[in-house]
Structures are given as structure tokens and as C-alpha cells.
Amino acid sequence: MAAIKTVVRQLGLIDYSETYAQMRDFTAARGPDTADQLWFLEHPPVFTQGQAGKAEHVLAPGDIPIVQSNRGGQVTYHGPGQAVVYVLLDLHRLGYGARDLVRRLEQAMIETLAGYGIAAQARPDAPGVYVERDWADGPRGQRPEQRKIGSLGLRVSRGCSYHGIALNVDMDLEPFGRINPCGLAGMRMTQVSELGGPADLGRVMRDLEAVLLNKLGPTSL
């Protein structure tokens, strides 16, 4: 049987609630021969709260809407200039599970960032991708401060995943200060353009797409 190719969709700037409904509908309707899909997009400003999210992690949302989601994790922020990728995969067909998918997605972000000379790493206790360095606006005379650059949240239904990752490229980071990002009190955020990488969202999405298509195959790690 010929391999089923992954469909890549470029959706542009699209409302979070609309995309969330589309992901659920796609996952509910898919069958054993439905092609996997990767959706690349941006969202207008929105806070999304994970299934087990705690209200106390939303500090001062102001005029930015909060949308309840069924993904894992706590609250995060999406806005223009952030590369969002939703991964709609049949994990049974690919032969790996949710934990392995998390590792592959983190590694894809890490490898993409490495291509820009940005050293990043994952954490065993908090999904996502982090950068550790001495920041010009950070504490002096202390150990390097860790900041978050990529977030991750998934849902798996009947062996199929949806939701995905968000990599900060060139965006307004101020709204992250209105929440405890991913439930991490005091965690500050950073982005590709702040660390000497490209501010071109399209370029970052293309680079990330190439790495993801390699990492998410049945044998790649």
C-alpha cells in the first residue's frame, strides 16, 4: 500500500474558536485512510485555557478574550507574529503515542531554532521549549535566566491528535505578562527575533514545516 502523504495547509490569520471547531470536526470525521494534516496559521489576540487550567493563572486579561479549550496544559496566549502549527495525526497509523509526539514536536522547534543559532532545550517537568542565557533586562550576578519561546498542548481522541505548538517569532509579548504562561508563575517569554533570528514569520514557518515533516514520520526521531 502506498504511504498516505501529509497534507500541509496554510490558513493565515484565523479566529481561534473557528479553528478549534474545525479541528474537532476533522478529527471526529476522519477514518483509517484520512490523510494527516499540518495547519500553519496565526491567531488574533486570544488567551486559551487548557482542560485542567486554573483560573488563578489568568492575572489580568483586560480586553483580550479567554477561550476554554480541551487541550492539555494551562493558559497561554496567541497573537499575530506567532507561528502556530496544529498537528492532526493518526498516531495508531504512525506507530507512536502522545508522549513520543510531544518529544518530536519539542525537538522540531529546537532544531528549527538551532538553524538560527539559537540554543534551546526542553524541560522534563513542563512541556515546551526554553532558552537559557544572561538577559540584558534580567537579574545580574545570578545564574542565567530561563525564558520560554515555544509552547505545546495536545488532545488525543481515538488515537488521533489535534492542537499542537506555538513558536514565538516576532510578536507583542506584553499579553504574556497578564497570565502565568502555562501555569509557570514568573516565567518570562522570548521570541526568535529577539534572539537574532529572523522576524519573517513566513520563513520560520517554512523552516519549521520541513523539520516537522521529517520528525513526525513513523520512524524519525
pLDDT tens figures, 49-96? 998 889 999 999 999 999 999 999 999 999 999 999 999 999 999 999
The pLDDT tens digits for 81-91 are 999 999 999 99
Establish whether 160 is a catalytic residue.
no
- The reported pLDDT for the residue numbered 144 is 82
Grid coordinates belonging to 135: 538577559
Domain assignment of residue 23, given as a range: 7-215
165 backbone dihedrals φ, ψ, rounded to 5°: -125, 160
User: Residue 33 and residue 31: Cα distance in Å, rounded?
Assistant: 5
Closest CA to 11 of 201, 148, 153: 201
Amino acid identity of 139?
A: P
Q: Is residue 32 part of a domain?
A: yes
The pLDDT tens digits for 112-124 are 999 999 999 999 9
> In this structure, are residues 41 and 14 in contact, taking their beta carbons and an 8 Å threshold?
yes
Closest CA to 27 of 37, 18, 17: 37
- The reported pLDDT for the residue numbered 221 is 42
Q: Is residue 197 part of a domain?
A: yes
- The reported pLDDT for the residue numbered 1 is 41
Which candidate in 89, 120, 173, 182 is catalytic?
182
Beta bridge partners of 87: 38
- The reported pLDDT for the residue numbered 3 is 66
Q: Kind and range of the H or E element at 93?
A: helix 91-94
Grid coordinates belonging to 66: 479567554
Q: Is residue 109 part of a domain?
A: yes
- The reported pLDDT for the residue numbered 143 is 72
- The reported pLDDT for the residue numbered 175 is 98
- The reported pLDDT for the residue numbered 151 is 97
Amino acid identity of 120?
A: A
Q: Is residue 2 part of a domain?
A: no
Is the pLDDT score of 38 beyond 80?
yes
Q: Is residue 220 part of a domain?
A: no
User: Residue 113 and residue 106: Cα distance in Å, rounded?
Assistant: 11
Q: Is residue 221 part of a domain?
A: no
Grid coordinates belonging to 7: 497534507
Query: What domain count does the chain have?
Result: 1
Q: Is residue 1 part of a domain?
A: no
Q: Where residue 175 sits, what CATH number does that domain have?
A: 3.30.930.10
| DSSP string for 21-83 | HHHHHHHHH--TTPPPEEEEEE-SSEEEE-TT--GGGB---TTS-EEE-SSSSS-EEE-TTEE
User: Residue 177 and residue 137: Cα distance in Å, rounded?
Assistant: 15
The pLDDT tens digits for 132-160 are 987 777 666 567 899 999 999 999 999 99
Position 4 confidence tier, pLDDT thresholds 50, 70, 90: confident
Q: Is residue 73 part of a domain?
A: yes
Closest CA to 167 of 125, 110, 217, 119: 110
